[in-house]
A and B are shown apart, each in its own frame.
Chain A
């Protein structure tokens, strides 16, 4: 007996995202590091930050820790980043 069944799934929303213009180099740039609270995330990001300063000319690094790994960076981090950094590196562990 022919019948019709309904689709239980949804399609992801299309969300246009205009990517931010990039700097030409990291010289003199302020780096924001956002670590996700997982073990060694902060350590490895700090080392990355040091390399960006020593070898790519970045001026300084600021590290932020998220509330937890389940949520994106919280509003205070975003506000401080908008005021104080030029680029962000975010990550990383499980």
Chain B
């Protein structure tokens, strides 16, 4: 590394004082953080092949430059291993993309978190979970990579609850919200390949997202059967105004039922798109669209998502259990925030 680390330094007496100090400074998400020493931060930067001063992203709406050094400090605090740093960097590049539109999802009363989907060989190499207890705790990579992104959002980009994070109720995904796609067992093209990357490349897809909505179907032996239950749940979801993208995560039993019926991701997307329409009349009667009811409203249908391609289908979750989930995007809608896929880069020389 040729350039020096420039961040302000604070002397602390010992480890427990350091942990308390970080709390007192307001640097944590409520959980204790790993105190960021220079040595740990340097290891993080070296693992990603980045110089401290290198600008990874500029958040226009906040006028903040996010440097590699600051990402590394927050990644150490989150508990990341150095080899996770390229994934964190790719995710930050994703949320800085103008099409992700930082301000809306980060600040909105809609309370969206950053759903992160990891694809490619790095997912397995870094032991990202794609199976049982998919959104739950237990895997260092899932837990700390998502947490690192949130700590950057908090400490670097100023996304603080009550000030620039006004999620009315928010959700626990704001601690960490990271999954990998189960590319080994999935019969379908992985998400990143659908989006134009090669199978050998590794990517992270960021999507501004509400919490996972679990749905249940234990009776169906056909793709149509499983997806009918999904669509019945999904179309009642409230964000019909904004028309965000949705992510549908299909776990083992449902994945196999649908695949055995010969359906691809495209057919899933088309079916979900077609079967989640609501009449404008219904939306007005249930106070989700404004305006007086007219006769034409009974037969005017409004899709839940702008297009079939706006249903992201991901194969992940445990092998056992008749449960999968759908994840609505941020209520502000696709026009304000789109999912972005970024390459996880190895910049070491």
Do A and B touch (CB < 8 Å)? yes
Of A23-31, A46-54, A56-64, A65-73, the stretch lying at the interface with chain B is A65-73
Could you say which of B15, B38, B103, B105 contacts A6, with CB atoms under 8 Å apart? B38
Assess the B101–A5 pair: CB atoms within 8 A.
Answer: no
Contact A1:B14 (CB < 8 A) given known A6-B38, A69-B104, A70-B336: yes
B contact residues, total (Cβ < 8 Å): 43
Contact A68:B156 (CB < 8 A) given known A5-B35, A8-B36: no
Assess the B290–A39 pair: CB atoms within 8 A.
Answer: yes
User: In the docked arrangement, what's the CA distance between A10 and B7, Å?
Assistant: 9
Closest-by-CB residue of A relative to B334 is: A68
Contact-size category for A: 20 to 34
Contact A67:B9 (CB < 8 A) given known A7-B73, A8-B36, A8-B73: no
A18 at the interface (CB under 8 A from B): no
B293 at the interface (CB under 8 A from A): no
Contact A2:B103 (CB < 8 A) given known A9-B27, A13-B63, A68-B332: no
Assess the A3–B14 pair: CB atoms within 8 A.
Answer: yes
Assess the B37–A3 pair: CB atoms within 8 A.
Answer: yes
Assess the B109–A94 pair: CB atoms within 8 A.
Answer: yes
Contact A7:B63 (CB < 8 A) given known A68-B335, A70-B104, A70-B332: no
Assess the A3–B35 pair: CB atoms within 8 A.
Answer: yes
Question: Closest approach, in angstroms, between the C-beta of B65 and any C-beta of chain A?
Answer: 8
A55 at the interface (CB under 8 A from B): no
Q: Which residues of A contact B27 (CB under 8 A)?
A: 8-9
Q: Which residues of B contact A8 (CB under 8 A)?
A: 7, 27, 36, 70, 73-74, 77, 151, 155-156
B21 at the interface (CB under 8 A from A): yes
A4 at the interface (CB under 8 A from B): yes
Question: Closest approach, in angstroms, between the C-beta of B281 and any C-beta of chain A?
Answer: 20
Q: Which residues of B contact A9 (CB under 8 A)?
A: 27, 155-156
Assess the B337–A70 pair: CB atoms within 8 A.
Answer: yes
User: In the docked arrangement, what's the CA distance between A2 and B8, Å?
Assistant: 16
Q: Which residues in B have some Cβ–Cβ distance to A below 8 Å?
A: 5, 7-15, 18, 21-22, 27, 35-38, 41, 61, 63-65, 70, 73-74, 77, 101-105, 109, 151, 155-156, 158, 290, 332-333, 335-337
